[in-house]
Amino acid sequence: MVPSAAEAESAASASGRLLVLYASQTGNAMDAAERVGREAERGGCPAVDVLSMDSFDPSRLPSERFVVFVVSTTGQGDPPDSMKGFWRYLLRKDLGAQWLEGVRHAVFGLGDSGYQKYNFAAKKLDRRLSHLGAEQVVEIGLGDDQHSSGYEGALDPWLLSMWKSLNETNPALLPRVSDINDPNLSTLGDPKVHVIYYSSNEVPQDSILSEPNKIINSARSMSPALQFHDDGGPPYMLQMVTNQRLTKEGSDRDVRHFELEDPSSAISYKTGDALEILPSQNPSAVDAFIERCNLDPDCYITIQAKSGDKISKGSVVSSLMDRIKLKTFVALTMDIASASPRRYFFEVMSFFATAEHEKKRLQEFASPEGRDDLYQYNQKESRTVLEVLNDFPSVQMPFEWLVQLTPPLKKRAFSISSSPLAHPNEIHLTVSIVSWLTPFGRTRRGLCSNWLAGLDPSKDNLIPCWIHQGSLPPPHPSVPLVLIGPGTGCAPFRAFVEERAAQTAAEPTAPVLFFFGCRNQDNDFLYKDFWLTHAQDEGVLSSKKGGGLFVAFSRDQPQKVYVQHKIKEQSARVWNLLLTGAAVYIAGSSTKMPADVTAALEDIICKEHGVIKEEASKWLRDLERVGRFNIETWS
């Protein structure tokens, strides 16, 4: 179903096809887009192409007739990486109001209403397409992670409305709703990958990769699920040298300080950067998965992507060096014991169930009527692929389907909490060790954070890492700073303060105000001694230097106190720094904090500048436009 970019671009005629373009950061938008394509094919649409936005030439958009866009929103209203080039093209000033005349479009967004700029990327895209002359097939659909059924709570009715609209205007060409919803017409089709197996004696020992970073790179570059999300090249292999608990023993929160170093060479990074880590899966879980699926852990494999019914020539693997042990491939690329499978996984499982009661239940899970039951069973309980397979023992899915549908093992990104000036060959991280209870009372643990917490710095424990540019640009020493980072949001600002302290030794630096928040002074005042030291004498947070440290302990008094309250208390100081060109940085939880802090800053501008709220909001937007208002949040 999914052609290569080259074949898509060289299609003889685009006018008779339904084109689905997606921009995905975590895989949800890709999954939703592929569902649109499957339903179109099931309904008899003669030509369907599903493509990542970065593999389609936007200059060809006017030649399309029907285009469905499925777009996720990341961070604070940002488009996914795969959409950025496409979006820049759409903003060109030489594209007129009739550029997309004759093109009919539909946009579905995936977002989280807990964020301030909910579904911002999809909303902007929908407006821009209309400004360029495209006609809306159906109102924009807005998927919400906060919905009781996740984004599919909005996707199901939106798809039905879209197919009905297309049926009314092009009944001969586009999908018939009756066929899409008829389970008797459902066929599985073929997987999109082809796996070639080699016995261990077919692979000469001197051709087997032995360096960990090369093995990781080879395995992950072979994974079809990682083709748009894993372009970082070979990793650094860093050694953990410090694993220190920051929160008090016995506290219900476990936050750790980790220090990593490269045993062989220097590490190059900037303040504000993030470190991406590939976690290790529990070897016993990998063994259990391989045994459950009747796979040979010691055989070697290569994986080729299919295009239609053919093997894509560009994906043919000829080098013995590209053959990798099946067990290694599973361990490094397939998240079998922490991520929940998506809805299509259950649909495909139903075709391979031999027990009638299992087939019936899987078909119900895959139907629109069973959507809520599936959400309760799967996402709410954080079921893993291994658990789901064990719950349906009659299902034997071919490995090709498992490779295609098992969620990929993703890197986890953490803000770096050290300065390269202060620690030239080290990277420090501030990590909350994640665990939670499901509705049925089962304990779940975050894969990466718990793996890191279990590592012993006194033993060899090389960690695959990639340096990634963060969303907090490093400030010039002459720029005053207002830093707001409650909880582990303090991580990048520990790096900023370290950096500024190192710069102070060589040149004059501007003042820094830092606002930190935690529950209790005794339990979770992260890096307490570090902040207090820099707030004393001639430190960069000292009042002598024009700086300040302001801490909100939310649970240490009857009335809760948060960082936004401390910011308002320092209204005049914050405003004076803003007037002298200060940059504002906010980091931390993506829930209410960013909106509450932004509202507090708007109140300060209203009070000190004597303007109404709308003007204060515009004032902050102008700061954001020139790079002086930056937010980095995580869920």
As annotated, the binding site includes 24-29, 72-75, 145, 412-415, 446-449, 488, 554-555, 560-564, 596, 634
Cα 226 to Cα 27: distance, rounded to the nearest angstrom: 9
Which residues, at least 6 apart from 223, have a Cβ–Cβ distance to it below 8 Å? 230, 303, 329, 333, 334, 403, 408
Residues of each annotated binding site for FAD = 412-415, 446-449, 634
- Residue 503: count of CB within 10 angstroms of its CB: 17
Longest CA pairwise span in the chain (Å): 79
Cα 243 to Cα 459: distance, rounded to the nearest angstrom: 12
Q: Are 485 and 588 in contact (CB under 8 A)?
A: yes
Which residues, at least 6 apart from 504, have a Cβ–Cβ distance to it below 8 Å? 477, 540
Residues of each annotated binding site for NADP(+) = 488, 554-555, 560-564, 596
Closest C-alpha among 232, 226, 218, 202 to residue 324: 218
Q: Which residues of 194-226 are buried (b: 16+ CB within 10 A; e: fewer)?
A: bbeebeeeebeeeeebeeebebbbbbbebbbbb
Give the CA angle between residues 452, 454, 459 to the nearest 5°.
95
Amino acid of residue 508: P
First-to-final CA distance of the chain: 34
Name the residue with tokens 């599985």: 188
How does DSSP assign 233-259, residue by residue?
A: -SPEEEEEEEEEE-SPTT-S--EEEEE
Cα 192 to Cα 401: distance, rounded to the nearest angstrom: 8
Residues of each annotated binding site for FMN = 24-29, 72-75, 145
Q: What are phi and psi of 199, to 5 degrees?
A: -75, 160
Cα 496 to Cα 488: distance, rounded to the nearest angstrom: 14
Closest C-alpha among 92, 50, 88 to residue 69: 50
